[in-house]
C-alpha cells in the first residue's frame, strides 16, 4: 500500500466537512484515521514527532495556494482559528 497523498484525502475530507460544518486539523486527522486504511509509510514518524499522515492532513492548509489543493481548487475555504469549511463547489463534487 502506497503513502496517502493530499489528493487521496480530498473526498473523505469534504464528506466530513459536509457533516460537521468546519474542522480544524486535529478534528480532520482524528476523523480521517477512522475512515481510511493507512499504510506503514503513513505511520512513520518524521522530524517534529508527527506521522507522515498527520503531515499530509496539515498540508491541506499549508499548501492552500498550490494547484490541486482543496482550498486552491475552491472545494473548501480556510479560516484562521476555525479550520476548513466546505464550499458549494465541494458539495457538488461529493454529490456526484
* Domain ranges within the chain, ordered by starting residue: 6-95
Q: Which of 95, 92, 77, 93 is nearest to 7 (CA)?
A: 93
Sheet strands side by side (includes 22-23):
22-23, 83-86, 76-79
* Range 33-51 average pLDDT: 94
Query: Is the pLDDT at 96 greater than 90, yes or no?
Result: no
Predicted pLDDT of residue 48 = 86
* Bridge partners, 23 (sequence order): 84
Report CA Rg, the chain: 13
pTM of the model: 0.92
User: In the predicted model, what is the mean pLDDT of residues 10-33?
Assistant: 96
Confidence of residue 47 (pLDDT cuts 50, 70, 90): confident
Are 60 and 69 within 8 A, CB to CB? yes
What CATH number does the domain located at 6-95 have? Answer: 1.10.10
Q: How confident is the model over 48-93, as pLDDT tens digits?
A: 899 999 999 999 999 999 999 999 999 999 999 999 999 999 999 9
Amino acid at each position: 500500500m502506497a503513502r496517502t497523498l493530499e489528493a487521496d484525502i480530498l473526498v473523505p475530507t469534504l464528506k466530513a466537512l459536509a457533516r460537521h460544518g468546519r474542522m480544524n486539523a486535529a478534528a480532520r486527522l482524528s476523523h480521517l484515521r477512522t475512515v481510511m486504511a493507512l499504510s506503514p509509510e503513513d505511520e512513520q514518524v518524521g522530524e517534529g514527532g508527527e506521522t507522515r499522515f498527520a503531515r499530509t492532513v496539515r498540508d491541506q492548509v499549508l499548501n492552500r495556494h498550490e494547484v490541486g489543493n482543496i482550498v486552491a481548487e475552491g472545494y473548501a475555504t480556510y479560516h484562521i482559528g476555525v479550520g476548513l469549511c466546505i464550499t458549494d463547489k465541494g458539495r457538488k463534487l461529493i454529490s456526484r
